[in-house]
C-alpha cells in the first residue's frame, strides 16, 4: 500500500513535534538540570524518528536517532547541558526542519547532514564541538545539478563500461585566501581519478572565485568514494569533503514496503496529547476544503440578501417569516464556518523565541522575549500573510531599538533588553503589539531625514505631532540607520510592512519615547471575506464603505464649510478635516441636482481623518468581499466588490487609500 495517503498527516505531526522540540530546548536553556524537560524533548524526537522510518524517510530518521542518543545521555546524567550542547542540538533541529520542508515541496527529505551527525557524535562521546568553531558546510544545501541529455547519456555509457558516477561535495575553509588555486589542486586529483562531467557552480565561476566556500562536482570513476575523499582531504585549506554515489532525484514520494495504521504511526503523539489537552474528537481538514466551503457560503449570503429584498417588496407574511428564519440560521452557520477558519496566532509566534535567541548571539546583545495572547485567533488567510511583517518588526526592534549591554547599563537600564509580543481581541479586530525598552525613536533625526529626502518641508516637520513624524519611518526607502545591516533589512525600511498590513485591511501605528522604548501596534480584521459595510449612494451609483474605518455619519450645511489650501474643509469636534467629493474622484455621472447640504461619512486612518461626501445613506449590511481580479486590481481606492440583494454590483471603497 502506498504511503501517500498519510503524507499530509505526517507533515503536520512532524511540524508539531519539531516545534515542541524547539520550545522545550529554549526552556531547557534556562533550566539545564530539569530532566522532565529533557524527557519531553526525547519523547518528541523518538516519535518523529518512528514516524520518519515508517514513511521511508531514512535520512530524517537517522539524524533524529543521533540527536536522541545525545538526549538520552543527558537524561541519564552522563552529559551536562550547556550552551555549546544546545547550539549543536539546535543545529541538528535546523537540518530536521529543512528536511521536512523538502518533503513538503515534494522532495524525498534528503540532505547533507554529515556535519550535524559529526557534532552530535562528538558531544555523545564527550568531545564537544560547537558550530561556532566548525564549518557550516553541513548546514548548506548542496547545489542542484541540472544535467542535460548528453551528460545523462555519458553517465549511462560509463556505468555500462564498469565505471560509476560520484558526487563530490567540497567545502574550503572560510579563511582560505586563494580559493581558485585550491580548486585547481582539487580538480587535478579528480582528473587523475576519472572524468569530471559537471560542476556546480560552473568551472568558469570556480576559476574566477565566484563562489562562497563550497562546490559540487560530478565525477565518473572506477576509484572508491573513500579513496577520493582521502586524496582531497590531504590538500591544505580543505575543511570538509563528502563523496556519495550519484542518483537522479526521484519525482515520486517513496513507498513504504510495510503497512502501518495512522494510529500506530502517531501512538506516542496521541498519548502526549491525551495528557496535555482536554479529551475531544477532532479531525484535520485541508484548508482548500475550508476555502471551498467559504466560497459556497458567500454565494448563500448573496442569495440571502436577494430573498430579503424580494420578501420586503412582496410584503408576504409567510415568506418574510421563512426568510427571517433562514437569516438566523445562516448567521449561525456563518459563525461556525468563520470559527473553523480561525487559527491561533501561536502558529506565527512560535518561531520568534528561537529567532530572538539567534539574534542575541549574532548581535552580542542580551535579549528577553515575552509572549502573551498567543491563543488569540485570526483567520487563516491573515495568519499566512502576517508572519513576514512581524519578523521584520522584531528584527527592527532588536537591531535599531535594543542597545548593547554596556550602553544599557550606562543608562541605568538592565543589561538584558526586553521585547514583548502581545496579541488580543477588541471588537471585530485583533491587535498585535511589539514593544521594546530600547533607545526609542529620535524625532529630530527622523524629521531631519524626512526633510532631506523631501518628504516634508522644514515648516511642516516643525508643526507635525510625534505620531505623524514617527509615521514617516514607514515611507518607501526611508531609513535612519547609520549602517545598513542584514538583520533589519538592507535599507528596505518599514514600507513593505505597512503595505502588507494595509492590504489585509489593517492599520499600523507607532508610539515611542526617546530613550525609553517603542511600541508598534497592528490592528487587523478578524476575517477578510465577509465584512460589515455602510451602503451609500453617490449620484445614482451604490458604494460600500467598511464600518471598521467609519467614525460616524453627519449632514453639514454648505455655509458651515471653510476653505484651506484651495480645498473644502470642515470642523469636526475641534479638528479641521478635508472633504473628499466622491462624485469628482470616482468620475460618477452627475444626474441628480446638488442639495443645500452635504451628507458625509467621516473615516479614519490612524490619526488622519477625512469626510467623504455622498448623496444619501442606504444603511448597514453584511456583504461578501469579492476580488476584482488581476485586470482591475490597480483601480484607485477600490478594494473589491460585492453583489447586493437586488443583484446590483457595488464597489467597496478603500478608505485608507482615499485618506492617503
Q: In the sheet that 530-538 helps form, which strands lie side by side, from edge to edge?
A: 616-624, 530-538, 541-546, 649-653, 638-643
Give the helix/strand (H/E) hosting 463: helix 458-463
Backbone angles phi, psi at 160, to 5 degrees: -70, -25
| Residues 480 and 442 sit within 8 Å (Cβ to Cβ) | yes
Catalytic residue among 29, 40, 68, 403: 68
Contacts 24+ apart (CB under 8 A), 406-413: 411/515, 413/437
Strands, sheet with 562-564, edge to edge from the N-terminal-most edge strand: 550-557, 597-605, 608-614, 575-581, 567-572, 562-564
Question: Distance between CA 402 and CA 394 in Å, rounded?
Answer: 11
Strands 608-614 and 575-581: parallel
Catalytic residue among 16, 46, 69, 268, which?
Answer: 46
Measured CA distances, 533 to 120, 327, 332, 507, 600 (Å) = 58, 18, 19, 18, 15
Query: What is the H or E stretch that residue 374 is in?
Result: none
- Name the nearest CA neighbour of 201 among 189, 209, 193, 191: 209
Q: Using CA atoms, how far apart are residues 360 and 355, in angstroms rounded to an integer?
A: 9
Catalytic residue among 22, 112, 139, 396: 396
Annotated catalytic, 46? Answer: yes
Residues 6+ apart with CB under 8 A from 601: 534, 536, 545, 550, 553, 611, 612, 614, 617
Cα–Cα distance between 157 and 154 in angstroms, integer? 5
What burial class does residue 347 get, using C-beta atoms within 10 Å of its C-beta: 0-12 exposed, 13-18 middle, 19+ buried?
middle
Is 299 among the catalytic positions? no
DSSP state of 626: B
DSSP state of 402: S
Phi first, then psi, for residue 551 (nearest 5°) are: -90, -50
With cell 518588526, the residue in question is: 393
Residues 301 and 5: their CA atoms lie apart, in Å, by: 35
Q: What is the rounded distance in angstroms from the CA atom of residue 8 to the CA atom of residue 13?
A: 9
**Alpha carbon distance 448, 451 (integer Å):** 5
Q: Please give the span between the terminal C-alpha atoms of the chain, in angstroms, as a whole number.
A: 59
Secondary structure E strands in 89-193: 164-172
| C-alpha grid cell, residue 172 | 574550503
Q: Hey, which residues are catalytic here?
A: 46, 68, 396
Amino acid at each position: 500500500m502506498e504511503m501517500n495517503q498519510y503524507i499530509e498527516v505526517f507533515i503536520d505531526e512532524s511540524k508539531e513535534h519539531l516545534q515542541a522540540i524547539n520550545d522545550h530546548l529554549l526552556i531547557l536553556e534556562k533550566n539545564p538540570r530539569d530532566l522532565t524537560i529533557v524527557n519531553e524533548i526525547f519523547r518528541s524526537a523518538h516519535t518523529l524518528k518512528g514516524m520518519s522510518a515508517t514513511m521511508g524517510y531514512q535520512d530524517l530518521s537517522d539524524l533524529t536517532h543521533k540527536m536522541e542518543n545525545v538526549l538520552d545521555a543527558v537524561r541519564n546524567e552522563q552529559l551536562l547541558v550547556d550552551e555549546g550542547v544546545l547550539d549543536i542540538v539546535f543545529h541538528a533541529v535546523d537540518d530536521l526542519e529543512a528536511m521536512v520542508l523538502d518533503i513538503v515541496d515534494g522532495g524525498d527529505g534528503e540532505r547533507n547532514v554529515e556535519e550535524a551527525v559529526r557534532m552530535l557524535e562528538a558531544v555523545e562521546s564527550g568531545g564537544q564541538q560547537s558550530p561556532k568553531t566548525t564549518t557550516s558546510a553541513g548546514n548548506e544545501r548542496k547545489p542542484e545539478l541540472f544535467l542535460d541529455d548528453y551528460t545523462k547519456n555519458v553517465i549511462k555509457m560509463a556505468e555500462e563500461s564498469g565505471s560509476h558516477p560520484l558526487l563530490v561535495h567540497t567545502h574550503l575553509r572560510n579563511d582560505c585566501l586563494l580559493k581558485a588555486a585550491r580548486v585547481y589542486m582539487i580538480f587535478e586529483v579528480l582528473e587523475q581519478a576519472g572524468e569530471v562531467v559537471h560542476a556546480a557552480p560552473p568551472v568558469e565561476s570556480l576559476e574566477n572565485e565566484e563562489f562562497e566556500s563550497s562546490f559540487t562536482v560530478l565525477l565518473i570513476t572506477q576509484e572508491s568514494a573513500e579513496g577520493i575523499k582521502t586524496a582531497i582531504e590531504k590538500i591544505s585549506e580543505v575543511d570538509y569533503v563528502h563523496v556519495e554515489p550519484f542518483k537522479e532525484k526521484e519525482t515520486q514520494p517513496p513507498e513504504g514496503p510495510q503497512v502501518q495504521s495512522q494510529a500506530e504511526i502517531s501512538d506516542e503523539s496521541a498519548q502526549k496529547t491525551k495528557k496535555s489537552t482536554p479529551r475531544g474528537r477532532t479531525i484535520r481538514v485541508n484548508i482548500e476544503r475550508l476555502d471551498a466551503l467559504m466560497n459556497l457560503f458567500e454565494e448563500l449570503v448573496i442569495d440571502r440578501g436577494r430573498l430579503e429584498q424580494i420578501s420586503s417588496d412582496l410584503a408576504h407574511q409567510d415568506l418574510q417569516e421563512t426568510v427571517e428564519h433562514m437569516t438566523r440560521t445562516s448567521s449561525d452557520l456563518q459563525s461556525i464556518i468563520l470559527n473553523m477558519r480561525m487559527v491561533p496566532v501561536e502558529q506565527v509566534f512560535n518561531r520568534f523565541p528561537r529567532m530572538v535567541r539567534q539574534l542575541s548571539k549574532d548581535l552580542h546583545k542580551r535579549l528577553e522575549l515575552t509572549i502573551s495572547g498567543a491563543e488569540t485567533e485570526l483567520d487563516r488567510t491573515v495568519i499566512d500573510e502576517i508572519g513576514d511583517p512581524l519578523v521584520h518588526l522584531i528584527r527592527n526592534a532588536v537591531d535599531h531599538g535594543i542597545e548593547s549591554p554596556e550602553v544599557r547599563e550606562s543608562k541605568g537600564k538592565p543589561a538584558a533588553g526586553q521585547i514583548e509580543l502581545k496579541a488580543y481581541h477588541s471588537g471585530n479586530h485583533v491587535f498585535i503589539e511589539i514593544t521594546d525598552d530600547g533607545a526609542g525613536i529620535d524625532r529630530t533625526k527622523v524629521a531631519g531625514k524626512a526633510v532631506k529626502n523631501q518628504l516634508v518641508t522644514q515648516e511642516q516637520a516643525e508643526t507635525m505631532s510625534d505620531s505623524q513624524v514617527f509615521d514617516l519611518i514607514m515611507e518607501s526607502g526611508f531609513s535612519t540607520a547609520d549602517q545598513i545591516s542584514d538583520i533589519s533589512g538592507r535599507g528596505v525600511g518599514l514600507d513593505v510592512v505597512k503595505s502588507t498590513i494595509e492590504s489585509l485591511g489593517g492599520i499600523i501605528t507607532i508610539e515611542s519615547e526617546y530613550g525609553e522604548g517603542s511600541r508598534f501596534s497592528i490592528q487587523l480584521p478578524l476575517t477578510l471575506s465577509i465584512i460589515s459595510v455602510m451602503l451609500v449612494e453617490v449620484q445614482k451609483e451604490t458604494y460600500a464603505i467598511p464600518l471598521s474605518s467609519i467614525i460616524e455619519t453627519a449632514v453639514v450645511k454648505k455655509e458651515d464649510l471653510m476653505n484651506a489650501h484651495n480645498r473644502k474643509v470642515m470642523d469636526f469636534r475641534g479638528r479641521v478635516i478635508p472633504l473628499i467629493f466622491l462624485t469628482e474622484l470616482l468620475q460618477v455621472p452627475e444626474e441628480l441636482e446638488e442639495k443645500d447640504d452635504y451628507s458625509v461619512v467621516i473615516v479614519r486612518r490612524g490619526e488622519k481623518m477625512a469626510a467623504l461626501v455622498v448623496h444619501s445613506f442606504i444603511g448597514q449590511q453584511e456583504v461578501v468581499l469579492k476580488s476584482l481580479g488581476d485586470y482591475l486590481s490597480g483601480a484607485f481606492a477600490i478594494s473589491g466588490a460585492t453583489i447586493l440583494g437586488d443583484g446590483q454590483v457595488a464597489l467597496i471603497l478603500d478608505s485608507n487609500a482615499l485618506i492617503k
